[in-house]
Amino acid sequence: MAKRARAVRWGVPVAAVAVVAAAVGTGPVIAAVSNEPSLPDRTAEQLLADVARTWQTGRMPQMSGTIVETASLGLPALPGLSGAPGPSGASAASLLSGSHQLKIWYAGEDRFRLMLPGEMSETDVVADGGTVWLWDSAANKATRLTAPAASGGRPDGAFPMRSGAASPFATPEQAARQALQAAGTDTAISVGDVVTVAGRAAYQIVLTPKSADSLIRDVRVALDGEKLMPLRVQVYAKGAAEPAFEVGFESLSFTAPAPENFSFTPPPGAKVEQGTVTPPAGHRPEAAAEAHDRSSVVGSGWDSVLVTSLPDVPAQKQDGKGRDGVDLGALLDGVKSSATPVSGQWGSGRLLRTKVVSILITDDGRLLAGAVTPEALYRAAGVKG
Backbone φ and ψ of 64, nearest 5°: -145, 150
**Residue 95 banded pLDDT, cuts 50, 70, 90:** low
Concatenated DSSP letters of 168-224: ----HHHHHHHHHHH--TTEEEEE-B-EEETTEEEEEEEEEE--TTBSEEEEEEEEE
Q: Which residues contact 357 (CB under 8 A, 6 or more apart)?
A: 73, 215, 369, 370, 371
d(C-alpha 219, C-alpha 205), whole Å: 8
More confident call, 154 vs 69: 69
Q: What is the mean pLDDT of residues 193-211?
A: 95
**Average pLDDT value over all residues in the chain:** 76
pLDDT at 285 over 60: no
Q: What is the mean pLDDT of residues 243-271?
A: 94
Q: How many of the other CB atoms lie within 10 Å of CB of 306? A: 16
pTM over 0.85: no
Amino acid 94: pLDDT: 52
Q: How many of the other CB atoms lie within 10 Å of CB of 42? A: 23
Concatenated DSSP letters of 255-320: SPPPGGGG---PPTT-EEEEEEPPPPGGG-HHHHHHHHHHEEEES-GGG-EEEEEPP-HHHH-TTS
pLDDT tens digits, one per residue of 148-178: 554 443 333 333 444 333 344 678 998 998 8
Amino acid 119: pLDDT: 79
Q: What is the mean pLDDT of residues 355-374?
A: 92
More confident call, 256 vs 147: 256
Q: Is 356 helix (H, G, I), strand (E, B) or coil?
A: coil
pLDDT tens digits, one per residue of 144-156: 987 555 444 333 3
Least confident span in 129-133, 189-193, 345-349: 129-133
Partnered with residue 122 across adjacent β-strands are 117
Amino acid 17: pLDDT: 33
Amino acid 282: pLDDT: 45
Contact 13, 221 (CB under 8 A): no
- What is the amino acid identity at position 205? I
Contact 205, 44 (CB under 8 A): yes
